[in-house]
């Protein structure tokens, strides 16, 4: 009997698994659990049903192609192959494709992104910007081929001839389309005074419209400082771009009709507004003349002398009231001034001297308040209520 090492046994079992044609490429369905995404970008999880479970891994190069976000409890279908993880000696499923089981992958991705952006407030009406009534420069982001661009240019030119159109050609489907659309919107925001941007394409399947259901396009529309009109597909088609955009047009042709008015209709509207303005001004002038005439009639019924006399009497009354108020205020202030002067006089040092007190100071020094600072034979100066005395100290009695 041959004795195998653990490594030899593991290698043999791994070779058996990898050489089995069924296990080399198969589809498996089940429920995700213990799902986690490593810092490296690899996905690790368990695929289980009611009675069994198998470990699975999806490497970053494959995981980055997923259109939806896997999560615990989600039912999925997986394509991959079975091999042995030699370190643990366990077999596991190496996943190359994953899609939701039941709803389609694109529809699941659409709903997940829609919920995510709605939670962030990207669809809120408070963020919507109103396109101008008469744009001078219109940016268009769409494919250079096909009828969409020709139809929009034709409709805009017919409705408002002379408006400037800045066209940015992009792919509208395929792997490169989302980045191209996002960069075009960003470029139109930087290139100069663009008043409004139209982005869109003709109708198609969910797969064909998918570029307008991507997060990069949605965020470029939301961050645009220029109002964006989304015109994707037919009237029944709704995309994430439609929800984020400032205005959603049912079709590209409808967007062209929304962005500019018909010149003849605008001229007729201006004529109507001009007529309404002229009527309003005339009514204002007529009303002013009527009020002026009423004032003139009232003046004629009351002679000017009466009106002036009445006003003069009012002035005299106001003068007397002012003089009386000023006199009363002066009396109050004088009384208050006398009270304050009395208080000040009571606190004055001069009043204290008048009551027989005096202030003694030594030459070149401050007031003497302690006998210990003056020696016998030293001269001091005594200030009285009236006059001063120069004295010679015969003897000092400190306390």
Mapping DSSP onto H, E and C, the string for 134-169 reads CCCEEEEEECCCCHHHHHHHHHHHHHCCCCEEEEEE
Q: How far apart are CA 60 and CA 391, in angstroms?
A: 110
Q: What's this model's pTM, rounded to 2 decimal places?
A: 0.56
Give the model confidence (pLDDT) of 43-87 as tens digits: 999 998 888 889 999 999 999 888 888 888 888 889 999 988 888
pLDDT value of position 300 = 67
Q: Which residues of 186-198 are buried (b: 16+ CB within 10 A; e: fewer)?
A: eebbeeeebbbbb
Per-residue confidence at 373, pLDDT binned at 50, 70, 90?
confident
Q: What CATH fold (topology level) applies to the domain 6-102?
A: OB fold (Dihydrolipoamide Acetyltransferase, E2P) (2.40.50)
Nearest-angstrom CA–CA distance, 367 and 80: 109
Q: What is the pLDDT of residue 62?
A: 92
If you average pLDDT over residues 34-47, what whole number do you get?
93
pLDDT tens for each residue of 342-361: 777 767 776 776 777 778 88
Cα separation, 118 vs 112, whole angstroms: 10
Residue 322 to residues 44, 308, 335, 340: CA-CA distances in angstroms? 93, 21, 20, 27
pLDDT, tens digit, for every residue of 222-262?
999 999 999 998 877 889 999 999 999 999 999 999 999 99
Q: What is the model's pLDDT at position 360?
A: 82
**99 — pLDDT class (breaks 50, 70, 90):** confident
Residue 89, phi-psi category: left (phi > 0), alpha (psi -120 to 50), beta (remainder): left
pLDDT at 213: 94
Query: Which residue has tokens 């047009």?
Result: 249
Spatial strand order in the sheet of 379-383: 359-361, 379-383, 388-392
Mean pLDDT confidence for 389-399: 80
- Does residue 292 surpass a pLDDT of 70? yes
> Residue 203 has what DSSP assignment?
-
CA distance 31 to 26: 16
| Residue 17 near residue 80, CB atoms below 8 Å | no
Angle formed by the axes of helices 215-222 and 105-120, nearest 10°? 30
With residue 192 as reference, give the H or E element that holds it: none
Torsion from C-alpha of 156, 160, 166, 172, nearest 10 degrees: -10
Task: Collapse the DSSP code of 267 into the 3-class scheme (helix H, G, I; strand E, B; otherwise coil) and give the result.
Answer: helix
Query: 299 pLDDT band (50/70/90 cuts)?
Result: low
The CATH fold assigned to 110-123+135-260 is Rossmann fold (3.40.50)
Is 266's pLDDT higher than 90? no
SS3 1: coil
* Highest-pLDDT range among 89-93, 215-219, 234-238, 276-280: 215-219
Q: Is the dihedral of CA 243, 249, 250, 255 positive or negative?
A: negative
**pLDDT tens digits for 136-179?**
999 999 999 989 999 999 999 999 998 999 999 999 999 899 99
Which whole number is the average pLDDT over 179-203? Answer: 95
């Amino acid at each position: 009997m041959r004795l195998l090492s653990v490594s030899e046994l593991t290698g043999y079992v791994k070779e058996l698994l990898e050489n089995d044609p069924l296990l080399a490429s198969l589809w498996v369905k089940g429920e995700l659990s213990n799902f986690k995404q490593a810092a490296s970008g690899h996905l690790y999880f368990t695929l289980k049903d009611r009675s069994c479970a198998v470990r699975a891994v999806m490497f970053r190069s494959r995981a980055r192609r997923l259109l939806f976000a896997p999560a615990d409890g989600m039912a999925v279908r997986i394509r991959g192959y079975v091999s042995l993880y030699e370190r643990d000696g366990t077999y596991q499923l190496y996943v190359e494709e994953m899609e939701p089981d039941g709803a389609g992958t694109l529809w699941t991705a659409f709903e997940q992104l829609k919920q995510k952006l709605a939670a962030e407030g990207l669809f809120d009406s408070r963020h919507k910007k109103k396109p101008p009534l008469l744009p001078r420069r219109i940016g268009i982001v769409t494919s250079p081929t096909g009828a969409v661009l020709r139809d929009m240019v034709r409709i805009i030119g017919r409705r408002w001839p002379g408006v400037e159109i800045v066209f940015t050609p992009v792919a509208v489907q395929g792997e490169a389309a989302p980045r191209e659309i996002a960069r075009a919107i960003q470029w139109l925001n930087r290139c100069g005074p663009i008043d409004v941007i139209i982005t869109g394409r003709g109708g198609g399947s969910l797969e064909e419209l998918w570029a307008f259901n991507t997060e990069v396009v949605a965020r470029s529309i939301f961050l645009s400082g220029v109002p964006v009109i989304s015109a994707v597909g037919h009237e029944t088609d709704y995309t994430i771009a439609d929800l984020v955009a400032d205005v959603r047009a049912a079709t590209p042709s409808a967007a062209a009709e929304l962005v500019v008015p018909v010149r003849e209709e605008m001229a007729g509207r201006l004529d109507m507004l001009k007529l309404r303005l002229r009527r309003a001004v005339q009514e204002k002038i007529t009303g002013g003349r009527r009020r002026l005439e009423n004032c003139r009639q009232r003046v004629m019924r009351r002679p000017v002398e009466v009106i002036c006399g009445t006003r003069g009497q009012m002035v005299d009354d106001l003068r007397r009231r002012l003089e009386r108020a000023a006199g009363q205020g002066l009396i109050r202030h004088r009384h208050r001034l006398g009270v304050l002067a009395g208080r000040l006089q009571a606190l004055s040092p001069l009043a204290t001297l008048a009551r027989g007190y005096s202030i003694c100071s030594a030459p070149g020094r401050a007031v003497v308040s302690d006998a210990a600072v003056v020696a016998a034979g030293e001269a001091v100066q005594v200030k009285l209520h009236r006059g001063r005395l120069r004295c010679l100290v015969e003897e000092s009695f400190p306390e």
